[in-house]
Structure 1
Amino acid sequence: MQSFSTSLPGILPSQSIEALIAGGAIASDTPFDKDQVQPASLDLRLSDRAWRVRASFLPGRRTVEDRIADVTMHGVDLSAGYVMEKGCVYIARLQERLSLPKGLIARANPKSSTGRVDVFVRLLTDRGASFDDVEEGYDGPLYLEIAPQTFSILVRPGTRLNQLRLKAGEPPKLETRSVGVDLEGLDGTIVGYRGRRHAGVVDLDHIDGHDPRDFWEPLGVRRGELLLDPGEFYILASREAVEIPVMQAAEMTPIDPSVGEFRVHYAGFFDPGFGTDEAHGAGSKGVLEVRTHDTPFLLEHGQIVARLVYEPLTERPSRLYGEGGSHYQSQGLKLSKHFQPWS
């Protein structure tokens, strides 16, 4: 097994990811897309092969496809486009595979646009003992569990639902910042959006291709409070602006369940340069994807709902978040890129 060496422990920047691709440690069934490598992460793409399954699982001591045989309902061909229905669970093989050298581990997370349409995704590896984590030395294919919650989704080969971050050594946690929720509204009128229960299909490769009114209900300002209903999905904004320094990356993590009966933020990676002046931003709000559990919960303005954990990069990335344009740089309260601007 080859070894990966770096002068400092930390998250790998874009140029190191590109070097791993060039060296074969990250491979693909098809050529990589030009924009697939992000400042500190790699977008992963669906292949044409998937399965509708009756239950989620971890493979344990078996391969993913061996385990799929126990729970599959039928195979799915994504090549012509396929609608994955809300309330169902699917496993898809990804185009990328890994042959990680010694000294490297990886962690996956949903892309921001995936979380904002309430699609729950988790990475699976052969003989993996946990979701989203790839152990040192892993050599094999990658799979994605996909569970649309609020909207049915149209996907096809090449659709990107999650991203991979690679880490060398044991990078220290530089700091942890609490994130509060904004319930006063950026313009004093709207504090968020609630997903409509009986909306149509979201085409995940059709940017600005959907009328938001067909999928979302705007939520007005109401005494700095919002009653979260069980089973409903909300898009809210952080009270604070988020800035990620160019030599750091961050992950948004859920708060302790004892603080509130809800889950915040399916998509937790923030790349270096997000919200910073150097990346031509002016501070960006963190968009919060919120789903409550079994009981209603009254959320108050400024209440802490998540935490940002910052980690160092091994070196400055060759590109920063937002360079060349981004749907989410300098964002306020904003729906995913699949929807036209609310007017």
Structure 2
Amino acid sequence: GTRLNQLRLKRGEPPRLATVSVGVDLESEAVAGFRARRHAGVVDMDRVGGHDPRDFWEPLAPRRGELLLDPGEFYILASREAVEIPVLQAAEMTPIDPSVGEFRVHYAGFFDPGFGAAEAGAAGSRGVLEVRSHETPFLLEHGQTVARLVFEPLTERPSRLYGEGGGHYQKQGLKLSKHFRPWS
């Protein structure tokens, strides 16, 4: 019964409505991100809030608004900007120009209708960025554009908006998945 995938269906070639740049937030002097610990245990996907984040993640504090990504490591960071997806649209996080370097930031790159929208009770939600540098170290700077959101129209209004009635990822800032207890 564990669900690990989503299915999105498209009819024809929907027009892309807009593209919005997404920057990275490295301004915090405390914790601005997390790096996955190597050789951590297995995450039981059915145990919501059942894992101590310290067993799986190492908190990161940037220096002078910069963070050096080590090749092959996996990071959780947050977008600098709040993200708002209108109720009649969805958005996908896409890579920026690959000539800027070998890193990927869009592993969990789909944003449902209503994410961060005031109508769903979530104005001010920031996107969580799942980031990996590949073959070489990569220096990120506060505010640097790391991805783009590409918006597409829906054929009809969803019967339920993302996070309506409260959701783990609405009104978020930097946050690990729902499988981890809050950092303490």
State the TM-score bracket (shorter-chain normalisation).
over 0.9
Give the Cα–Cα distance (whole angstroms) in 1 for the partners of residues 98 and 5 of structure 2.
Answer: 25
Give the Cα–Cα distance (whole angstroms) in 2 for the partners of residues 302 and 275 of structure 1.
Answer: 19
Pair 1:312 & 2:135 matched: no
In structure 2, the residue corresponding to 1:238 is in which secondary structure? strand
Give the Cα–Cα distance (whole angstroms) in 1 for the partners of residues 166 and 126 of structure 2.
Answer: 17
Q: CA deviation at 1:325?
A: 2.1
Give the Cα–Cα distance (whole angstroms) in 2 for the partners of residues 199 and 164 of structure 1.
Answer: 29
Give the Cα–Cα distance (whole angstroms) in 1 for the partners of residues 30 and 57 of structure 2.
Answer: 16
> Could you give the per-residue CA deviations for residues 127-182 of structure 1, whole angstroms, max 9, x where no partner exists?
xxxxxxxxxxxxxxxxxxxxxxxxxxxxxxx2211101111222100000010101
Correspondence for 1:302: 143
Letter in 2 for 1:216: W
Q: Which runs of 5+ in 1 are unaligned?
A: 1-157
Correspondence for 2:132: 291
Correspondence for 2:100: 259
> Could you give the per-residue CA deviations for residues 21-74 of structure 1, whole angstroms, max 9, x where no partner exists?
xxxxxxxxxxxxxxxxxxxxxxxxxxxxxxxxxxxxxxxxxxxxxxxxxxxxxx
Give the Cα–Cα distance (whole angstroms) in 2 for the partners of residues 229 and 196 of structure 1.
Answer: 13
Work out which of the residue numbers 14, 37, 40 in structure 2 matches 1:199.
Answer: 40
Give the Cα–Cα distance (whole angstroms) in 2 for the partners of residues 258 and 161 of structure 1.
Answer: 32
Correspondence for 2:10: 167
In structure 2, the residue corresponding to 1:258 is in which secondary structure? helix
The within-5 A match list for 1:195-274 is 195-274=36-115
Give the Cα–Cα distance (whole angstroms) in 2 for the partners of residues 287 and 194 of structure 1.
Answer: 13
Letter in 1 for 2:153: P
Structure with greater strand percent: 1
Pair 1:184 & 2:2 matched: no
Runs of 4+ residues deviating >4 angstroms: none
Q: CA deviation at 1:231?
A: 1.2
User: Would you say how many aligned residue pairs link Structure 1 and Structure 2?
Assistant: 184
Q: CA deviation at 1:269?
A: 1.1
Q: CA deviation at 1:253?
A: 0.8
Q: CA deviation at 1:198?
A: 2.0
Q: CA deviation at 1:209?
A: 0.3
**What TM-score do the two structures reach when normalised by structure 1?**
0.53
**What TM-score do the two structures reach when normalised by structure 2?**
0.97
Give the Cα–Cα distance (whole angstroms) in 2 for the partners of residues 300 and 250 of structure 1.
Answer: 24
Work out which of the residue numbers 300, 303, 322 in structure 1 matches 2:163.
Answer: 322
Q: CA deviation at 1:252?
A: 0.5
Structure with greater helix percent: 1
Letter in 2 for 1:232: E
Give the Cα–Cα distance (whole angstroms) in 1 for the partners of residues 146 and 20 of structure 2.
Answer: 11
Using the aligned pairs only, state the percent identity. 84
The within-5 A match list for 1:53-132 is none
Q: Which runs of 5+ in 2 are unaligned?
A: none
In structure 2, the residue corresponding to 1:209 is in which secondary structure? coil
Letter in 2 for 1:224: G
The within-5 A match list for 1:23-34 is none
Report which structure shows greater RCO (CA 8 Å, sep ≥6): 2
Correspondence for 1:20: none
Q: CA deviation at 1:259?
A: 1.5
Q: CA deviation at 1:324?
A: 2.5
Give the Cα–Cα distance (whole angstroms) in 2 for the partners of residues 199 and 236 of structure 1.
Answer: 19
